[in-house]
Amino acid sequence: MSDIKFYKEKHLPLEMHKVRIVQKLNLLPIEKRLENISKAGNNTFLLRNKDVYLDMLTDSGTNAMSDRQLGAMMIADDSYAGSETFYRMEKAVQNFFGKEYFLPAHQGRACEHILAKSLVKEGDVVPMNYHFTTTKTHINLQGGRVEELYKDKAIELVSDEPFKGDMDLVKLENLINEVGAEHIPFVRIEMGTNLIGGQPVSLQNVEDVSSICKKYNIPLMIDASLITDNLYFNKVREERCKDMSIHEIALAISKCADIIYFSARKLGSAKGGGIVVDSKEYFDNMKELIPVYEGFLTYGGMSTREMEAVAIGLEEACDIDMISHGPEFIEEFGRILQEYNIPIVTPTGGLGLHINAREFVGHVKETEFQSAALASAIYIVSGARGMERGTLSEEKNPDGSEHIASCELVRLALPRRVFTLSQIRYIADRLAWLYDNRHLIGGLRFTEEPKVMRFFIGRLEPTSDWQEKLVAKFKEDFGDSL
């Protein structure tokens, strides 16, 4: 929690929970790590988790569950239709968002599939503060296109801008006038924005975007997958939210939106997802798609155990002690890295620590996937796996050339309540070594390149023998140490 005072310590994010169940980890020798990343085609998604020391790939479905969540799972009411568990989850969702109608789906992208299918037509344009990979793909598959209307400051990686996720209101009105409101099925705000570093959106901006949407009669959709971090930042960075409870802020945001969806792999700290609306018309239009793609309307592809856990997870999402843990640990991680002069995205956001790969490995060609090369090097030197969030995560240009991402990042996710401060210090120390030896890192090229969302399962190889050289230098400096 942010307002605890200390006597000698200057920076100490404090856990407001204790660890009662643990999982053994392995830290393999560096030669083994090199072998593993080569076998995985230099794609951290393709590593086996047993070969990973710190799994910082994502916070999706990997947050630690609370005793209350585990307890609730034991009373799940397993039935295909009319399960009591569903009604408990529905009530928790209605309470959290203050909206009446809830459609369950098995995860966030499943919601995006249903939403895109029912709302997006060929030629439509969907304005958003920033895209997310799966969201954009679903909209494109329906024949629509995405327009990102972030403020110029959003992609200045080093800044003190508290709400880089805010949408640019002038760009929004210009776009509406240019393409016509009738071609805009909805405006989407991602709270917070994943691909630019877990950066939050202010309540003020949501209200302003909502007013513009109302003026032109366009629905406002909020992707609330990462809303817990966002709510923490609203509370600590936005003056008007300082005296509001977390739930009051959530309700104020929700009031502005016509449609909300979320991945319960993040919000709710379990597994699942859902769409929330207050118009019966939307509900009726979408509900028929749920049994076709997800499962019956009272489970939507989720297991009842997970639904029970989500219901409790939503209650816990209103607790500042719970939601402050991620952002405060990330801030501390960032503070240590800055001491070592490692280029990171500032201010630190939610979800994970974001390294500026464009600067870290600026000597690697942009077309040789700087972020992916850095993610591969990080695994080799530390056993921690992060995720590439840069050019590799982009779709290529129509002419087949690389679409160079506006931000070239490596994300080291901090699933909530999972890692200790000493583990953070360990990875920070390995990053410091890697930064001092960054000239050894080289590029990557595809050996297998899928057509859609290539970052998930594509395979790459180093463009030279740089990885062997990196291992040799590591052994020179660390001897037989892991």
Q: Least separation, in Å, of the C-beta of 23 and ligand F0G?
A: 20
- Beta-sheet pairing, 384-385 with 54-55: parallel
Task: Give the count of beta carbons closer than 10 Å to the beta carbon of residue 17.
Answer: 13
Phi, psi of 6 (to 5 degrees): -120, 160
Which of 266, 305, 411, 459 is flagged as catalytic? 266
The tokens describing 365, both together, are: 């060609």
Q: How many residues bind ligand F0G (CB under 6 A)?
A: 15
Q: Least separation, in Å, of the C-beta of 273 and ligand F0G?
A: 6
Is residue 273 within the footprint of ligand F0G (CB under 6 A)?
yes
Which of 62, 85, 133, 137 is flagged as catalytic? 133
Is residue 109 within the footprint of ligand F0G (CB under 6 A)?
yes
Cα 57 to Cα 46, 102, 133, 414: the distances in Å are 11, 30, 15, 9
Task: Give the count of beta carbons closer than 10 Å to the beta carbon of residue 436.
Answer: 12
Which of 389, 416, 454, 459 is flagged as catalytic? 389
Q: Which is nearer to ligand F0G, 130 or 329 (CB)?
A: 130
CA distance 183 to 282: 18
Whether 80 sits among the annotated catalytic residues: the reply is yes
CA distance 313 to 205: 27
The tokens describing 245, both together, are: 């409870």
Tell me which of 60, 79, 303, 463 binds ligand F0G, using CB under 6 A: 60
Which of 132, 299, 369, 419 is flagged as catalytic? 132
Is residue 66 within the footprint of ligand F0G (CB under 6 A)?
no
Site for ligand F0G in 197-236 (CB under 6 A): 223, 225-226
Residue window 242-271: x/- pattern of binding to ligand F0G, with contact defined by CB under 6 A: ---------------------x-x------
Is residue 108 within the footprint of ligand F0G (CB under 6 A)?
yes
3-state secondary structure 249-263: HHHHHHHHCCEEEEE
Which of 67, 68, 78, 80 is flagged as catalytic? 80
Q: Which is nearer to ligand F0G, 81 or 292 (CB)?
A: 292
How long a stretch of residues is the chain? 482
Q: Least separation, in Å, of the C-beta of 471 and ligand F0G?
A: 28
Tell me which of 97, 102, 130, 132 binds ligand F0G, using CB under 6 A: 132
The tokens describing 272, both together, are: 């699942």
Instruction: Identify any residues that bridge with 445 across adjacent strands, giving them in sequence order.
Output: 461
Q: How far is CA 332 from the centre of its chain?
A: 19
Q: Least separation, in Å, of the C-beta of 140 and ligand F0G?
A: 15
Residue 395 makes CB contacts below 8 A (sequence gap 6+) with: 136, 140, 403, 452
Q: Least separation, in Å, of the C-beta of 90 and ligand F0G?
A: 19
Whether 132 sits among the annotated catalytic residues: the reply is yes
Q: Least separation, in Å, of the C-beta of 15 and ligand F0G?
A: 23
CA distance 253 to 92: 17
**Residues at the site binding ligand F0G, with contacts judged by CB under 6 A:** 58, 60, 107-109, 132, 134, 190, 194, 223, 225-226, 263, 265, 273
What residues are annotated to the active site? 80, 132-133, 223, 266, 389, 455
